[in-house]
Amino acid sequence: MKRIRVALVDDQALFRAGIRMLVSSQPDLEFAGEAGDGLEGIAMTARTRPDVILMDIRMPVMDGIESTRAILSAAAERSTTPPRIIVLTTFDLDEAAARAIRGGASGFVLKDADPEFLLAAIRTVHAGSAVIAASATRELFEHFGVLAVPEPPEFAELTAREKEIFLLAARGLSNAEIAKAEFLSEATVKTHISRVLGKLGLRDRVQLVVFAYEHRLA
């Protein structure tokens, strides 16, 4: 089995050491490299070609949002498989994390998450799915959801059922959980989700959450 190569970009040496140990302790993961700021992160990525990068947001020299964009556009220019990027945030209410997702990151995880959650997030994004810290999502909505803003026109094109499923997905529920809540089969939920993504012009569930957040839909 090929191990997942994981790299870390963070300005705190102690945090880097902790993650290095955590990743190295896992038989299916390999620690590929680390960098102390976003600019170093770009060079380190070009050198070590990790599969997954854990990316801090607030760093000197270059922040994690700009570094994420640069790393992904460099991969696109070289036509190489882009690394999956998980943004690490300190705060639940982090608009910067939402911006990083729009810049191409595959998910965000709180820095004080359980190690097991972070490891699961690495494996999940590597497998091609998106990851969002559930508590972060909930907080975003609790904080911003009360503001009234006009409904975007694309949203009006969803059927009542699709809107319900959109809102459940926006709260971070899995297909299985949505299926249970809506008394549907998982396959049907999957079909609804892809129709919703198509109508809204979104790539994946992370973008769905960000869309809901930006339009105050939850």
Residues within the interface to Mg ion (CB under 5 A): 11, 56, 58-59
Shortest approach of Mg ion to residue 87 CB, angstroms? 11
Nearer Cβ to Mg ion (11/34)? 11
Nearer Cβ to Mg ion (58/138)? 58
One-letter-per-residue 3-state SS of 32-101:
EEEECCHHHHHHHHHHHCCCEEEEECCCCCCCHHHHHHHHHHHHHHHCCCCCEEEEEECCCCCHHHHHHH
**The tokens of 127 are what?**
């497998």
Nearer Cβ to Mg ion (59/140)? 59
Integer Cα distance of 53 and 32 in angstroms: 9
Under DSSP, the state recorded for 206 is: H
Q: Give 56's strand partners.
A: 88
Q: Which residues contact 160 (CB under 8 A, 6 or more apart)?
A: none
Nearer Cβ to Mg ion (65/178)? 65
Q: Which residues contact 24 (CB under 8 A, 6 or more apart)?
A: 30, 31
Nearer Cβ to Mg ion (35/200)? 35
Shortest approach of Mg ion to residue 7 CB, angstroms? 16
Shortest approach of Mg ion to residue 6 CB, angstroms? 18
Integer Cα distance of 140 and 216 in angstroms: 10
Grouping H, G, I as helix, E, B as strand and the rest as coil, residue 159 is coil
Shortest approach of Mg ion to residue 99 CB, angstroms? 16
Nearer Cβ to Mg ion (33/172)? 33
Integer Cα distance of 88 and 109 in angstroms: 5
